[in-house]
Structure 1
Amino acid sequence: MRKSPDNNPLTTLQIINQQCNAFEDAWQSTGQPNLQSFIPNNLSKPHQNRLLQNLIELDIDYRNLIHQPSTPQTYLDQFPHLDPDWIKNLLNQSNSEPTTHPNILAPGANIGEYRIESLIGKGGMGIVYKATHKHMNRPVALKILSPHLFDSTAEKRFEREVKTAAALNHPNLAQAFDAGRHRLTPFLISEYVPGQNLHDHITQHGQLSIKQTINIILQTANALHHAHQKQIIHRDIKPSNLMLTDDNQIKILDLGLATTLNIQSDLTLSTAMLGTVDYMAPEQAENPSAASVQSDIYSLGCCLHFLLTAQPCYPGNSAISKLLAHQKSPVPSLKSIRNDVSDPLNDVFQKMIAKKPADRYHSMDQVMTAIQESQSISSDISKKPIRKLTQPITILTSIIMLILITIYWLVSIYQSGEKITGNHETSYIFDTNSTSKQKLRSTDNKSFVPTPSTSKKPELLLNENAIQNLSRMAKEQYEIHGLIWAQVMPGQFVMGDDRIVNARPTSQVTLTHPYLMTTTEITVAQFRKFVKATGYTTQAEQQTGWGYVNGAWRRGPYSWRKMGDIQITDQLPAINISWNDANAYCDWLNSLSNNKLVYRLPTEAEWEYACRAGEQSENLNRQINDSQSWYAVNSGGRVHEVATKNANALGLYDMRGNESEWVLDFYGPYTPTTEEFTIINPTGPKSGSARVQRGGNFNDGIQNIDPAARRGANPNEPTRGAFRVIATLQPISE
């Protein structure tokens, strides 16, 4: 005879865990929920009592946190069958708990360098507070073990969470800053993310548009792909763990359930159901330790459904009915609820939540590709026509302008007293501290011919000889202040990439002035020269930076001088550099010059134009990536010396991969343009809280080292950042 669900011990634990989670969610969103409403009628009396005991323990904790302690009568009035002595003992234990377990904290309490401000929430593994770093006055999220979980097993699992969080660095993952112990209690410090989680957002505002949903799902998938590449699965992807910031960026919260795929841990999860039933893959519900990459894909598919419909894939009145629906019911169709969902998008969704893991996508990278392709198919997007200048320039005028700009540019460099060290056949470096002559590294890439700043086709503007001359000048290199620079001629290009969520929409961009760009990221030796001359101390040295220790990147006492197990050499890029540090270096260069050149970080447009060197994203194939870039496929998870891969057509090294590079612009969405306009010398938003990093790094996949790929980062944080400098005749004001 088949057992009823209530006779199955694992199912009972699942129901109790699910109801406790729902009860905590209600406490955090509405406050003081009704206990009785969380006890299902289909549970047997013994199991109802067991659940009630768990709920009362949680209720007491939450009442203490808001300074509204319970009395025995609080519960005996509702449940007269309870043992009064049991309730009294529980309350007495709770009243002594703040002394025994200092992780139940009131506003104003201190943990090390952090001051507690308010309670954010309480989850299965710990309590989360908003706190402030007392010396830096920086808001952070502080997570500490829950009192009722304070045992050796939970402590080990929490320590594993700390190590997991430290291994991840992605703009869509809440970043871990610090970890430690306070009176034997472990805590984790991570990025404080203001905003609203998607569960609350949908509950208040209703379903999202397809465009908004795709944006959110792609951001989330991108972050999870990064985690999966680190052999980490999240296990608890759900709308309440996806925070929507004010600038529409997604941050994934709560890595408390994450586990490392290639480690057979002795910390079994079979005694508790981790995750939320509405978003849990069937195999994970049946056996929590069986969760995999495909389980995260299933959960993200369920989130996709919720964002578009404001309801779960399988609505039900009880946890057991939902669990059975995830296992047995037909896969739902988005089109049955929303007629504006395309067939291709519906197909992607249904494959994401297929019953069997083998029938789903194999990776988040495949999910992102499928979603992007579904949008291209459904929209039937054709290639955009080249946008015209607001005031078309005649062919003759364009030639004259280009020649005059180039002459003025070259004359200015000659007048500066800084010698041109290249010739038309082969470029050379002349080291001012040496009499030797070192030949520059050659490249087999085709030469870059800048597209002149006009709406006309290039071949109509310049003859073959003129194009060859421009190409030759574009490859000319110079030595200024001990740095090697490549020359970038003005021109026009398509900026952005419609396949990348935060690089949309594409725009026709015109750069009207030439500039010099350092051929590599600023190296350790070059940065050391600046520090020696000025006595400058980087923000990482004042706070914390990133180091590579025991095969993983960790936050700690690291800087450009010291990066854990990585041997510091002169030719490594200087990393652990904040945006402010990079600008201080530029200010120093400007203080050395008595000429007309202005040294600064490149704008996003200047950086992308130089990175592309005449190529569009779709032409940057795997072969080019491997020959020019250190990235996830070939880097071994660590940074490499500069110029150890081939240069692009402009002679620029490591533009893509190795280490992310700071640029001048504030981070924000691209401004849409009409077909009739081009953007001239764009400088990005006028204000913001984050600055842009470009180029991706050694841990990124192909999509994230695309010339259009971009991420926002705190300008006061090193985020392992590097930088290169440009020199121009044109100062820029923000």
Structure 2
Amino acid sequence: MSDHPTLASHRSGQAIAGAKFHDPMSGVVQDANATLDDSWTGRTLGEYELGKKLGEGGNGEVFAARHRWLDRLVAIKFLKPTSLENDDLNERFRRESQMAAKLIHPHVVRATDGGMVGKLLFLVTDYVNGPDLGQLVQRNGPLRVNDACEIVLQASDALAFVASKNTVHRDVKPSNLMLDDDGCVKLLDLGLARSLDHGHTMTATGQVMGTIDYMAPEQAVDPRRVDCRADIYSLGCTLYFLLAGKSPYYTDDLGTLAAKLLATIESDPVPLHRLRRTVPRSLANFVMQMMDKDPGRRPQDYSHIRETLANFSIGSDLRALLGQQQQSSTTQTFKGASPLTRLSDAFDDGVRVFAYWLAENCGFIAADPVSRAGQRKTYRISFQWLKFVLVFAALAGLFWYSGFHFEYIPADQSQFP
């Protein structure tokens, strides 16, 4: 097998610099104090030969690797050495490894190995040869409607399986969804997943868990008390990102985490149809429903999402999407609406606002009470207008019954004393 581009051309066979690791055959365990960087490329960890670093997060780093005995590519996630003294992070990493090993599904990245070498924790998963959704949009710009819906439909299948195991992912976002070279969506990173089967939790009171741009409001308030509807919110934000080319709360006015967190809880994002008018209005409304602040107004399960998105994903071709090159025309299309489009949107919004105002003042609809800041105004059918009809009918009947009438007398026939 020829070297994969992610693997080093040299094969030193050295142990990782600065550390001596556990040899399964000798039973020797010594401290691991190495710095995780590209100098690890070409070194070995047991049967694994490390390639280049693929990425890193707050507490973990991921390397490509090759299993020398099986001659198979894998990805290895290490807990950063700086996090080793944090018992909560160690336990969370162990729990992630155990969860990943139990979740066997075509759209979930499979865990194949893991453990501790010296003091270094690691998790081995299948290698996904493809971009994550963030990289895909960065390269191609906003996706076609049918491709975006097909991607989220597949992701919803993965999350439905996760939910069937009484687990909430709690960190659904574009960078945690990858597209392999067969056009298959893969869900990864269960580091923040929480099992609903266990009463205990590792999240401290007041601690924010997740990624602000894609986090459900109730998760921002208390990440310990969420269910699958929090993941549905995050999936809606992901679909918004695929169609608009930016996250729901990505603006210059929300440059800080605190501002984004407040907006997540209290504000509504720009309606999707204003950013991209080629998105069908029914789909745009469904995306906004998935991102509703109130969990009770979102789709309550993934079957509803699958049923809705299936109609919009017809004609998708994810394999062709992987082969596309970035086209400036596509990117330019969605950089901003034209003046004519903005004028049309303003006219549409003005007509809608006036229609609601007129219907409310005439008693045909009534506004529901607003229970919290930032909540969208909703309406219900009202029969207040019947009062006006009944009053008018009563007055008309009274005039008729009393014999009251008007008599017109032309001016030329009038008689004056």
User: For 2:268, what is the secondary structure of its paired residue?
Assistant: coil
CA distance in 1, matches of 2:88, 2:33: 16
What's the counterpart of residue 144 of structure 1?
78
2:111 pairs with 1:176? yes
Matched letter for residue 163 of structure 2: H
What's the counterpart of residue 208 of structure 2?
273
Shift of 1:330: 3.0
What's the counterpart of residue 136 of structure 2?
201
Which deviations, in whole Å up to 9, do the C-alpha atoms of 1:450-491 show, x marking residues without a partner?
xxxxxxxxxxxxxxxxxxxxxxxxxxxxxxxxxxxxxxxxxx
Q: 2:272 aligns with which of 321, 328, 334?
A: 334
Matched letter for residue 186 of structure 2: K
Moved more, 104-113 or 172-181: 104-113
2:305 pairs with 1:370? no
CA distance in 2, matches of 1:102, 1:290: 38
Shift of 1:109: 2.3
CA contact (8 A) 2:143 2:242 kept: yes
Matched letter for residue 289 of structure 1: R
Matched letter for residue 89 of structure 2: A
2:51 pairs with 1:117? yes
What's the counterpart of residue 325 of structure 2?
none
CA distance in 1, matches of 2:277, 2:134: 23
CA distance 1:319–1:156, shift in 2 (3 Å): same
2:176 pairs with 1:241? yes
Shift of 1:135: 0.7
Shift of 1:116: 1.2
User: For 1:235, what is the secondary structure of its paired residue?
Assistant: coil
Shift of 1:247: 2.8
Q: 2:36 aligns with which of 99, 104, 110?
A: 104
Shift of 1:272: 4.6
CA distance in 1, matches of 2:220, 2:281: 29
User: For 2:73, what is the secondary structure of its paired residue?
Assistant: strand
Q: 1:344 aligns with which of 261, 270, 282?
A: 282
Matched letter for residue 369 of structure 1: E
Higher relative contact order (CA 8 A, sep 6+): 2
CA distance 1:122–1:271, shift in 2 (3 Å): farther
What's the counterpart of residue 156 of structure 1?
91
What's the counterpart of residue 102 of structure 2?
167
Q: Sequence identity, in percent? A: 35
Matched letter for residue 245 of structure 2: A
What's the counterpart of residue 714 of structure 1?
none
CA contact (8 A) 1:302 1:313 kept: yes
Shift of 1:347: 2.2
What's the counterpart of residue 157 of structure 2?
222
Which deviations, in whole Å up to 9, do the C-alpha atoms of 1:2-42 show, x marking residues without a partner?
xxxxxxxxxxxxxxxxxxxxxxxxxxxxxxxxxxxxxxxxx
Shift of 1:335: 1.2
Matched letter for residue 262 of structure 1: D
User: For 2:235, what is the secondary structure of its paired residue?
Assistant: helix
Which deviations, in whole Å up to 9, do the C-alpha atoms of 1:397-443 show, x marking residues without a partner?
xxxxxxxxxxxxxxxxxxxxxxxxxxxxxxxxxxxxxxxxxxxxxxx
Matched letter for residue 290 of structure 1: R
Shift of 1:200: 1.7
CA contact (8 A) 1:102 1:183 kept: no
Matched letter for residue 277 of structure 2: N
CA RMSD of aligned residues (A): 2.5
Shift of 1:103: 7.1
CA contact (8 A) 2:150 2:309 kept: no
Shift of 1:372: 2.6
CA contact (8 A) 2:201 2:224 kept: no
Shift of 1:209: 0.6
What's the counterpart of residue 325 of structure 1?
263
Matched letter for residue 58 of structure 2: G
CA contact (8 A) 2:66 2:73 kept: yes
CA contact (8 A) 2:64 2:127 kept: yes
Matched letter for residue 122 of structure 1: E
CA contact (8 A) 1:195 1:246 kept: yes
Shift of 1:248: 2.2
CA distance 1:124–1:269, shift in 2 (3 Å): farther
CA contact (8 A) 1:125 1:256 kept: no
Shift of 1:140: 0.4
What's the counterpart of residue 197 of structure 2?
262
Unmatched tracts of structure 2, length 5 or more: 1-16, 18-29, 321-417
Shift of 1:164: 0.6
Matched letter for residue 248 of structure 1: G
CA contact (8 A) 1:298 1:352 kept: yes
2:238 pairs with 1:303? yes
Normalising by structure 1, report the TM-score: 0.37
Matched letter for residue 187 of structure 1: F
Shift of 1:290: 2.4
User: For 2:224, what is the secondary structure of its paired residue?
Assistant: helix
CA distance 1:120–1:270, shift in 2 (3 Å): farther
CA distance in 1, matches of 2:96, 2:56: 16
CA distance in 1, matches of 2:69, 2:273: 53
CA contact (8 A) 1:145 1:187 kept: yes
Shift of 1:102: 4.6
Matched letter for residue 124 of structure 2: I
What's the counterpart of residue 129 of structure 1?
63
Shift of 1:104: 2.8
CA distance in 2, matches of 1:185, 1:303: 33
User: For 1:257, what is the secondary structure of its paired residue?
Assistant: coil
CA distance in 1, matches of 2:202, 2:214: 23
2:356 pairs with 1:356? no
Shift of 1:256: 1.2
User: For 1:141, what is the secondary structure of its paired residue?
Assistant: strand
Matched letter for residue 136 of structure 1: L
Shift of 1:246: 2.5
What's the counterpart of residue 344 of structure 2?
none
CA distance in 2, matches of 1:113, 1:335: 52
Which deviations, in whole Å up to 9, do the C-alpha atoms of 1:255-286 show, x marking residues without a partner?
11111112122422446533211111111112
Give runs of aligned pairs for residues 315-714 of structure 1, distance below 5 A: 315=250, 316-372=254-310, 375=312
User: For 1:311, what is the secondary structure of its paired residue?
Assistant: coil
Shift of 1:345: 0.9
CA distance in 2, matches of 1:272, 1:129: 29
What's the counterpart of residue 405 of structure 2?
none
User: For 1:196, what is the secondary structure of its paired residue?
Assistant: coil
Normalising by structure 2, report the TM-score: 0.64
What's the counterpart of residue 314 of structure 1?
249
Shift of 1:234: 1.2
What's the counterpart of residue 16 of structure 1?
none
CA distance in 2, matches of 1:100, 1:271: 33
User: For 1:290, what is the secondary structure of its paired residue?
Assistant: coil
CA contact (8 A) 2:249 2:269 kept: no
Unmatched tracts of structure 1, length 5 or more: 1-66, 68-97, 377-497, 505-667, 670-734
CA distance in 1, matches of 2:187, 2:259: 28
CA distance 1:269–1:205, shift in 2 (3 Å): farther
Shift of 1:332: 3.6
CA distance 1:225–1:132, shift in 2 (3 Å): same
Shift of 1:108: 2.3
How many residue pairs were aligned? 286
Matched letter for residue 104 of structure 1: L
Which deviations, in whole Å up to 9, do the C-alpha atoms of 1:225-250 show, x marking residues without a partner?
11110111111111111112223221
CA contact (8 A) 1:348 1:371 kept: no
CA distance in 1, matches of 2:42, 2:186: 27
Which deviations, in whole Å up to 9, do the C-alpha atoms of 1:655-709 show, x marking residues without a partner?
xxxxxxxxxxxxx89xxxxxxxxxxxxxxxxxxxxxxxxxxxxxxxxxxxxxxxx
CA distance in 2, matches of 1:274, 1:231: 19
Shift of 1:313: 1.0
